[in-house]
Amino acid sequence: MAKIKKYKIARRLGAGVYEKTQGQKFMLAEQKRSKARTGRPKRPTDYGLSLIKKQRVRFSYGVSEKQFRTYVDKAMDAAKRGLVPSEVLFKTIESRFDNVIYRSGFASTRAFGRQLATHGHFLVNGKRLDVPSYLVKKGDVISIREGSKTKTVFADISERLASANVPGWLSVDVKAQTVTVTGEPKDPEPFFDFQSIIEFYSR
């Protein structure tokens, strides 16, 4: 997606929607735009606010509307089993293969993680996988395919893995260059409101 389009989306949904719009460059640009504005900004309706919260998650994780609706429907069905739909939705989308590649430090952004996954650069439990939407589970081990280790994109992989802010449900072995799923996703980022999303689709 072009940078200008991402900036436009981030202005509408919030800087946290993309990794590249969380930097100082975007913030300074927004400050200049704010000073240049005239008149009072329109206050979004309750529906508009709920839509923004839904789109924040969908665009951040790079999920199509159809796929996202599938995740929501499954989360709502989970309520019949006594589970909390918002928690199920978060765990599901956070467990996507492309997101795990990003979270572990293999990729600098979710979009790049999706690209690496699609190109088949990784193995899951020793088998090549090129499906970004695959949902990892506890015990899965992700590693770089032997034929991909010499690729330029992995030239500094040890440094990236060592410096990554890895969530507690993932365990990174920098020396072996592997990531093991040791639990389930916990504690969504404050920027995301999964309960609001469930309510949005329950209207």
DSSP string, the chain: --HHHHHHHHHHH-GGGSGGGSSHHHHHHHHHHHHH--SPPPPPPHHHHHHHHHHHHHHHHT--HHHHHHHHHHHHHHGGGT--HHHHHHHHHHTBHHHHHHHHTS-SSHHHHHHHHHTT-EEETTEEE--TT-B--TT-EEEE-GGGTTSGGGTTHHHHHHH----TTEEEETTTTEEEE-S---S--TT--HHHHHHHHT-
User: What pLDDT score does 172 carry?
Assistant: 97
The confidence band for 27, taking pLDDT boundaries of 50, 70 and 90, is: low
| pLDDT above 90 (res 73) | yes
Query: Where do the domains of the chain lie?
Result: 96-181
| pLDDT above 90 (res 144) | yes
Tell me the per-residue pLDDT of 145-194, one tens digit each, with 9 for 90 and over.
999 999 999 999 999 999 999 999 999 999 999 999 999 999 999 899 99
The confidence band for 25, taking pLDDT boundaries of 50, 70 and 90, is: low
Instruction: Classify domain 96-181 at the CATH topology level.
Output: 3.10.290
The pLDDT mean for the chain works out to: 88
Global confidence as pTM: 0.82
| Share of residues in the chain with pLDDT > 90 (%) | 72
Question: Of 16-30, 84-98, 108-122, 149-163, which gets the smallest average pLDDT?
Answer: 16-30
